Amino acid sequence: MKKTILITGASSGIGRETAKLFQQKGWNVIATMRNPQDETELTQLKDVLVTKLDVLDLSTVQNAVAEGLQKFGKINVLVNNAGYGAYGPLESFPREKIIRQFNTNVIGLLDVTQAILPHFRQNSDGIIINISSIGGKVTFPLGSLYHGTKFAVEGISEALSYEVEQFGGKVKIVEPGAIATDFAGRSFDFHNDESLTAYQGTVAAIFALIPEMTQNASPASLVAEVIYEAATDGKNQLRYAAGEDAKAILENRKQLDDTAFISSMKAQLKLN
């Protein structure tokens, strides 16, 4: 019987590439996004349901899961991919932007997961794949909000893995490095207040580093392949690094203590 995957944030980047890859591999795909009316490519593909899911709107979450089940009968894999990065000095952020970052990357992920867990439990299987980041294990300056959400995703995923194991389910975490998507465009919410002069040296240092980071970025299709591996390898492996830069940075973080790692980060950014 054909397997079915539900993907959040499938309108671009990693979500879109994952939808296309699983469809090519013969899966049914529930490709969810905030504005499905704008989608033209995925709607042409066989066995792909394009439907609305905004992780900030619980009714769309429940409707998307129900619609997917109605069309395909069963969901085997959930990919929690929807998210964005809020960067900038914490002091400069209005509270509503702080809440939006956590609501999107953490509460939204929990809402989608809760909506699908009863189905997985009743079927005694199901794989939840949460898209984290190397930013769930290491931090860059100005990322207190984004890294806060991704560290949360890591903890949620690891703890949840014990629960779903009780009925035969699995949780997997995919940790990409720099990815050539529009993350630095529409998925990047940078906030700054130039009157906060104490932080402007750090802001300048981070912006100087962005071209170097994106130069070595992996294509989104590479992350899609790692997601496919996590969904199909049958292993009890919890974490999957995606991209050579991710593997190198995560390995480096394992080897160094906090002081050494933070010192190396400061040296790289030319911070005092």
Query: What's the pLDDT tens digit per position in 140-197?
Result: 999 999 999 999 999 999 999 999 999 999 999 999 998 876 555 557 889 999 999 9
CATH number of 4-269: 3.40.50.720
The reported pTM is 0.96
End-to-end CA distance of the chain: 59
Query: What's the pLDDT tens digit per position in 63-101?
Result: 999 999 999 999 999 999 999 999 999 999 999 999 999
Check if 132 is active-site.
yes
The catalytically annotated residue of 87, 146, 228, 240 is 146
Check if 150 is active-site.
yes
d(CA 39, CA 61): 18
C-alpha torsion angle, residues 111, 117, 118, 123 (rounded to 10): 160
124: left (phi over 0), alpha (psi -120 to 50) or beta: left
CB contact at 8 A, 82 and 132? no
Write down the H helix ranges in the chain.
Answer: 13-24, 58-72, 95-102, 108-123, 144-165, 200-215, 220-232, 244-255, 258-269
The catalytically annotated residue of 3, 20, 150, 170 is 150
Q: Using alpha carbons only, what angle is made at residue 174 by residues 10 and 129, rounded to the nearest 5 degrees?
A: 60
